Chains A and B, each alone.
Chain A
């Protein structure tokens, strides 16, 4: 055990010094309890969270801008072109509504009153998406909010429809059968609307 390194090796090793700045940092750390490493880890966590948030916002933005799907939904019904820019996916079976007032949906065997509160969109004929507050997503070419949807039961079948302002027909999708029918819409004297199978 009496062996030793050459003196020059020991001198070299001994010449290694802690950086001057470390003392100040350490004194600050014992005062605050926050070390450099903790600060770096915290910064890293914030960066990670920031990156995740940025990714989320980017994806959300892409989704809204229709890059993932065709976000622009054009519905042509009686010459009324309705664009739903914020609707995710291609709404193949969106129907229409004159206004968001309580309305009655009538058919030969079934009639009920429904409040138009949501938009149901059938994406590529596979999924029915219910979007609360979809009235914000549908507007006509003049930028007017003009469509909203609701779910009704017609002939014992649940169906969704969207009514377009100034239109006299409505397309209804039966959610269980994925079947589409065109209904006739008529305005009643009390301001409500009646809908019947055409």
Chain B
């Protein structure tokens, strides 16, 4: 006997509406931004840098907020 012994047209069984879809957000933008890029460390400053085709295209800064 399989997991769905009682046939059901409601595979997502919950009393309240379940969020099976979300709004497109910043993480989706970041996933696109990542194409062809990587994070590396500048050995002189120990700061993170964003690399594209072996060139530094951005330097990370220290953030004062409580991350």
Note whether A and B form a binding pair. Answer: no
Residues of A that sit less than 8 Å from B by CB: none
